[in-house]
Structure formats: C-alpha cells, structure tokens
Amino acid sequence: NAGVTQTPKFRVLKTGQSMTLLCAQDMNHEYMYWYRQDPGMGLRLIHYSVGEGTTAKGEVPDGYNVSRLKKQNFLLGLESAAPSQTSVYFCASSSGQYNSPLHFGNGTRLTVT
C-alpha cells in the first residue's frame, strides 16, 4: 500500500538553483495537488491538476511550475529557488469528488540558503 510517494524527502538548495519534486500515487486518483506548509499558516495550495495533461494555479503559484504527463505522477519545479521557498512541500491526491478526502505523501523538507 504505497499510496502517495514523494521524492526526495530532504533537499538543500542555494539561491538561484533549480530542482524538481516528484509525486507518485497508485490509487488511480484523477486529482493531484501540491501544498506548502509553513508554521502558523496551515497548508496553502500551490498548483493542482484535475487529470492527465491538465494543471491549474492555486493560492500561491508564483515561482513554481508543474506538469502532469502521466496520471500517476505530478511534478513540482522550482526554476530559480529563493529563500522564501524554504518550506515543507506536500503532495496529495483525491478521487475528485467534492466530498472526498485528500491522501497525502510524507512531505519534502526544502531549505534554500
């Protein structure tokens, strides 16, 4: 029962470097999401996808890009990392129904120096 798997678990970047976070789910879910978690702010939605080949902006999309080339994978990219992007990133998936819960990965802790 893998569920939602995120890689890597930890990463340290220098300002201006780029990286890609990978999320994979094995539940055949249509919807996938990327959130960031910062102390005292809960989870904020970065980007989401309602199906293969589609993506949309969430609440805090600036500085990030995403791609969903395969239904099971959702990639989050940082083209030029900034210290403000230091955070814990969570991927989640759901069946897409408005009353369906989210299934989360274990997170990626990113530090930008």
Partner 1 sequence: AQSVTQLDSQVPVFEEAPVELRCNYSSSVSVYLFWYVQYPNQGLQLLLKYLSGSTLVKGINGFEAEFNKSQTSFHLRKPSVHISDTAEYFCAVGNTGGFKTIFGAGTRLFVKA
Cα–Cα dist 74/81, whole Å: 19
* Interface with partner 1, residue 97, by CB under 8 A: yes
Among 1, 28, 62, 99, binds partner 1 (CB under 8 A): 99
CB 51 within 8 A of CB 39: no
Binding segment for partner 1 among 15-23, 60-68, 78-86, 91-99 (CB under 8 A)? 91-99
Tokens standing for residue 35: 């959130």
Binding test (CB under 8 A) with partner 1, winner from 18, 96, 111, 113:
96
Phi-psi region of 56 (alpha: psi -120 to 50; beta: other; left: phi over 0): beta
Under the rule (CB under 8 A), what is the footprint of partner 1? 4, 31, 35, 40-45, 48, 50, 58, 90, 92, 94, 96-99, 101-102, 104-107
